[in-house]
Chains A and B, each alone.
Chain A
């Protein structure tokens, strides 16, 4: 496409997967203990979407990438310091909750509203990207809802590859059952793509991109509107931490034969 794509990536933050999570009951329902103290990272599958977006934009001149994020402002700022070095984008931030207990439909409404408000966004060239699931809510519904609100009916989930063909049509690979991919050809934007892992490694930090992004990130964070997510109609009857630990029997100083025999017996049980 000669004029390029307008790629909007929806993605927020999640606690670093190394952190221990503990549910607590807050004034407005369940929450994580010390949530604001937990180190955060960009939601991994949304991260893949962002890296794929930046790569596509680089290959298609005239393209532009926006990252639309709803999350606690202070945490967003921390995460942008690192993510801002990896891919060129313009941030659109909203200050609100982004934990696993926030309603996906209300989040989608806020995201769609923010996208509609992006000055200069050409909706005929729009590619709406994001992770196919978050690592917090794991809902796998948010992007579809944003897509519906924006009237986009070409939607793909679990995307591992998007190739632009010579005639500007897209070939898209989506994950389906049994380790297979469904292959589709879409005439072009507007489309929604919920990314799985994609095929790009995480980009190395690039201080030049970082400086360029930061000029826009700080003002975007300052402009971030308070966006409450009231969770209307949603009630958590319980949130529990499953029993994690097993009694591990440790077998050492046994010959490979003896271990192999035990394993084979176990498999055949």
Chain B
């Protein structure tokens, strides 16, 4: 029989964020099929009490925790040692964790230390007839695979947005302490975070809508001129009113590197597609983007898709969007903003 461990880390405020609670739901479902519902939770951070209390009623058989000041920083040397110690203490054969940047960085290396294997971007876990299999995408969301592994421990990093977040009463839980080795060679200090200015914070993973801007916003329009300042205003105005997340095509963000006039608030982090992000949102609206395959693979997890393009032969017309509006995005988005403003 498997021994299941859910690994989580609290955020800076001490609580567990949504991806951790989603991984908890996934863990409970797997445990229900494989271990009569038994699973352990391992917590790592500078302080873990608030997080343990937050999931006190989730039904974990045991809580293990490493609370150590050295874990206030998300860095490889200390995080890997902590995750390794928790997995060993739990005797885990299956380790489930949210695919946060922090865990993506370290858990693959930890799997090596434990003689196991790690799979990332897991979107589904199935446990049938006592056997666990996982679903993950290959070739940048072009092929879907379901796989099993014989090696243990098997570490599974579950992508955010694939499971409902666990909801339950907070309570009071006591975790068994596990020690982080005293002697760790640490040659890295995390010195801070670089976040875009509040009004330029355009990537919003929890938004209901993804708004994608393509290179067309910077191209010459019917009057033979470019209208980049107007484009900026229209896009920012829309984002302000809808709190949508902003995505971009590669061509548009690349223009910056080529010294052309671009939308000042876009960076490579906004890029969607083959070499960009693959976010999860219920709806997506593409504007001035041609909808070419290397871009639209990034739309795999956008459920409802609409596009505005002046060109009826763009990629969106060929089965990549639910609705294509053949129209001038400048004109349409100006009206959209007006309507939104009027509706308050």
Contacts and interface: CB of A to CB of B under 8 A. Distances in A.
Interface residues of B, number: 99
B145 A30 contact: yes
Given A176-B101, A180-B194, A236-B147, A145 B112 contact: yes
Given A21-B143, A234-B147, A237-B146, A154 B109 contact: no
B249 interface: no
A242 B145 CA distance: 10
Given A135-B275, A246-B320, A263-B285, A201 B270 contact: no
Given A17-B140, A244-B319, A175 B101 contact: yes
Given A141-B120, A183-B194, A260-B339, A157 B101 contact: yes
Nearest to A135: B140
A81 interface: no
A263 B325 CA distance: 10
A129 B75 CA distance: 17
B27 interface: no
Q: Categorize the interface residue count of chain A.
A: 35 or more
Nearest to B154: A233
B216 interface: no
Interface string A91-124: 0000000001100110010000000000000000
Contacts of B109: 144-145, 147-148, 155
A182 B268 contact: no
B340 interface: yes
B147 A145 contact: no
Given A144-B105, A260-B339, A251 B274 contact: no
A149 B340 contact: no
B140 A256 contact: no
A74 interface: no
A81 to B, nearest CB: 22
Contacts of A158: 101, 104
A231 to B, nearest CB: 10
A66 interface: no
Interface stretch (B59-67, B85-93, B163-171, B181-189): B181-189
Interface stretch (B1-9, B30-38, B218-226, B326-334): B326-334
Contacts of B80: 153
Given A17-B297, A179-B269, A256-B332, A155 B76 contact: yes
Interface stretch (A5-13, A184-192, A215-223): A184-192
Contact of B258 (A139, A183, A201, A238): A201
A138 B137 contact: yes
Contacts of B332: 256, 259-260, 263
Contacts of B77: 153-154
Interface string B191-216: 11111100001111100010000000
Interface string A233-269: 1111111111011111111111011011111101110
B50 interface: no
A157 B144 contact: no
Given A105-B112, A138-B140, A141-B118, A156 B145 contact: no
A179 B143 CA distance: 27
A254 B327 contact: yes
Describe B's contact surface by its main secondary structure.
mixed
A244 B140 CA distance: 14
B294 A17 contact: yes
A157 B312 contact: no
Interface in B136-168: 136-140, 142-151
Given A155-B105, A176-B101, A184 B75 contact: yes
B320 A250 contact: no
Nearest to A257: B335
Given A45-B275, A245-B319, A139 B335 contact: no
Nearest to A181: B194
A201 B343 contact: no
B305 A263 contact: no
**Interface centre among A30, A136, A148, A178, by most B CB within 10 Å?**
A178
Interface string B99-134: 011101110110111000111110000000000010
Contacts of A251: 323-327
A149 B293 CA distance: 37
Contacts of A181: 193-195
20 contacts: A17-B274, A18-B293, A21-B139, A21-B142, A105-B117, A135-B275, A144-B106, A145-B109, A149-B112, A184-B190, A197-B268, A239-B143, A239-B144, A246-B305, A246-B320, A246-B321, A248-B318, A248-B319, A252-B325, A267-B283
Given A140-B108, A153-B77, A157-B104, 16 more contacts: A23-B143, A135-B139, A136-B139, A139-B119, A145-B109, A147-B109, A157-B105, A178-B195, A185-B188, A188-B187, A233-B150, A236-B145, A247-B322, A260-B338, A263-B325, A267-B283
Which 6 pairs, one residue from A and one from B, show the smallest C-beta to C-beta distance?
Answer: A179-B203, A245-B319, A233-B150, A260-B335, A141-B108, A100-B138
